[in-house]
């Protein structure tokens, strides 16, 4: 017993480094020779380490408890804890999800709003087409309303209405929009060289907005028509162009077919993406092969570049109204256009002789 106590004292001194060098060497020799002593040393060390760890942790905990007492935990809890309100909690926990949802809803609202806007515009198209069907001339129909006679070569009366027309026969039949001439008693046509011819209105079709004029001068004659009539379907997106007289010089407009129907699904007409101005009404609409595919008659008042043209197949009725023996070199829907192999720019120079400015007086 006494030896045991002595031994433990020595082990403790040894572990704490309190033995002298000679004593330590002797003790280490003893450890080497006696495994039981060595075991006791190791076990004692492990135990003392645990005890020290325990002591330091306990000390740390006490200090932390002390520090903890200085914190106003209740106040902090109120500030940091979950909010009693369910909604605030939900907001805190799902901030990002709510943000995503909100932006999605916003996007949806914007989309719906823009669709509604489009719907509103459709409403105004309808109004416009109603007016058209009554055939009151308005800003949307492309008649050039000429206020003064300064530019006119006919000084007798001021020119009231202007538009465009094109030859459908080599002996002076000219096709234009009905609304261009509807309010005029006297109509003249002027070619690109500035020659003026008086015409009779020989055919009126308010429904299809088509009129046919005949140059009274019996000596008037053109070469055979370079273009032909295309009554078949024209593909969406096909390039088209028109020639017209929005001013005293002929003006070329180029665009493409944007819809197979016109105002509010009007199947009589095409919709085009093509910039036109008042004065283009009645102008021929041609495709890249030089076929007449329609007549420009209106544009949409709120959207730039949305233009409408009466489809060529509705010209057939108008054409058949002309007595067969009086028409010479009429426009063909069978023969291939002479222009089909030409570049559009070359076609224009050939066509412009067959496009006329219409001048209406009343």
**Which residues contact another protein by CB under 8 A?**
1, 4-5, 8-9, 43, 47-48, 50-55, 57-58, 60-61, 63-64, 66-68, 70-71, 73-74, 76-77, 79-82, 92-93
192's CB contacts (< 8 A; 6+ apart) are: 250, 352, 353, 355
Phi then psi dihedrals of residue 244, to 5 deg: -160, 175
Instruction: Please say which residue, 14 or 125, places its beta carbon nearer to another protein.
Output: 14
Q: How far is the CB of 37 from another protein (least distance, A)?
A: 16
Q: How far is the CB of 259 from another protein (least distance, A)?
A: 53
Q: What is the dihedral of CA 190, 191, 196, 198, to 10 degrees?
A: -70
Cβ 107 vs Cβ 246: under 8 Å: no
Maximum C-alpha span of the chain: 154
- The DSSP code sequence of 251-290 is EEEEEEEEESS-GGG-TTEEEEE----TT-TT-EEEETTS
Instruction: Please say which residue, 79 or 147, places its beta carbon nearer to another protein.
Output: 79
Q: How far is the CB of 32 from another protein (least distance, A)?
A: 24
Cβ 245 vs Cβ 353: under 8 Å: no
The token pair that represents 83 in the structure block: 């909010």
For 332, counting Cβ atoms within 10 Å of its Cβ (0-12 exposed, 13-18 middle, 19+ buried), the class is middle
Q: How far is the CB of 29 from another protein (least distance, A)?
A: 24
Q: How far is the CB of 103 from another protein (least distance, A)?
A: 22
CB neighbours of residue 265 within 10 Å: 13
Q: How many residues does the chain have?
A: 362
Instruction: Please say which residue, 81 or 155, places its beta carbon nearer to another protein.
Output: 81
Q: How far is the CB of 118 from another protein (least distance, A)?
A: 43
The token pair that represents 291 in the structure block: 């076929």
Instruction: Please say which residue, 100 or 236, places its beta carbon nearer to another protein.
Output: 100
Q: How far is the CB of 43 from another protein (least distance, A)?
A: 8
Instruction: Please say which residue, 83 or 157, places its beta carbon nearer to another protein.
Output: 83
Instruction: Please say which residue, 77 or 224, places its beta carbon nearer to another protein.
Output: 77
Radius of gyration, CA atoms only, the chain: 49
Cβ 225 vs Cβ 270: under 8 Å: no
Q: How far is the CB of 67 from another protein (least distance, A)?
A: 4
Q: How far is the CB of 79 from another protein (least distance, A)?
A: 8
Instruction: Please say which residue, 49 or 200, places its beta carbon nearer to another protein.
Output: 49
- The DSSP code sequence of 83-113 is PSSHHHHHHHHTHHHHHHHHHHHHHHHHHHH
Instruction: Please say which residue, 89 or 320, places its beta carbon nearer to another protein.
Output: 89
Q: Could you give the CA distance from residue 237 to residue 272 in angstroms, rounded to a whole number? A: 9
Instruction: Please say which residue, 52 or 346, places its beta carbon nearer to another protein.
Output: 52
328's CB contacts (< 8 A; 6+ apart) are: 169, 170, 171
């Amino acid at each position: 017993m006494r030896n045991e106590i002595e031994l433990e004292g020595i082990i403790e001194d040894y572990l704490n480094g309190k033995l002298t060098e000679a004593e330590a060497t002797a003790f280490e020799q003893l450890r080497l020779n006696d495994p039981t002593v060595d075991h006791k040393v190791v076990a004692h060390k492990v135990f003392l380490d645990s005890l020290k760890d325990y002591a330091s942790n306990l000390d740390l905990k006490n200090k932390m408890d002390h520090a903890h007492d200085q914190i106003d935990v209740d106040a902090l809890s109120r500030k940091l804890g979950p909010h009693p309100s369910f909604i605030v909690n939900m907001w805190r926990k799902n901030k990002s999800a709510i943000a995503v949802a909100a932006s999605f809803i916003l996007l949806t609202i914007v989309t719906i709003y823009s669709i509604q806007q489009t719907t509103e515009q459709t409403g105004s198209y309808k109004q416009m087409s109603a007016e058209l069907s009554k055939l009151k001339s308005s800003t949307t129909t492309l008649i050039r309303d000429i206020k003064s006679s300064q530019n006119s070569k006919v000084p007798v009366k001021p020119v009231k209405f202007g538009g465009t027309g094109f030859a459908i026969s080599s002996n002076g039949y000219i096709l234009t929009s009905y609304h261009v001439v509807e309010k005029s008693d006297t109509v003249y046509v002027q070619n690109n060289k500035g020659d003026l011819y008086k015409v009779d209105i020989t055919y009126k079709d308010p429904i299809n907005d088509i009129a046919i004029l005949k140059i009274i001068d019996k000596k008037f004659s053109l070469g055979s028509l370079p273009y032909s009539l295309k009554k078949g379907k024209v593909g969406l997106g096909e390039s088209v162009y028109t020639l017209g007289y929005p001013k005293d010089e002929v003006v070329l407009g180029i665009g493409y077919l944007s819809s197979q129907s016109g105002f509010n699904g009007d199947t009589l007409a095409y919709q085009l993406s093509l910039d036109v101005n008042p004065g283009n009404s009645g102008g021929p609409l041609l495709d890249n092969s030089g076929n007449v595919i329609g007549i420009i008659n209106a544009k949409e008042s709120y959207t730039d570049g949305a233009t409408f043209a009466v489809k060529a197949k509705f010209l057939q009725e108008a054409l058949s109204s002309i007595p067969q023996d009086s028409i010479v070199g009429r426009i063909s829907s069978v023969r291939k256009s002479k222009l089909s192999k030409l570049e559009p720019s070359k076609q224009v120079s050939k066509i412009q002789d067959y496009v006329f400015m219409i001048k209406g007086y009343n």
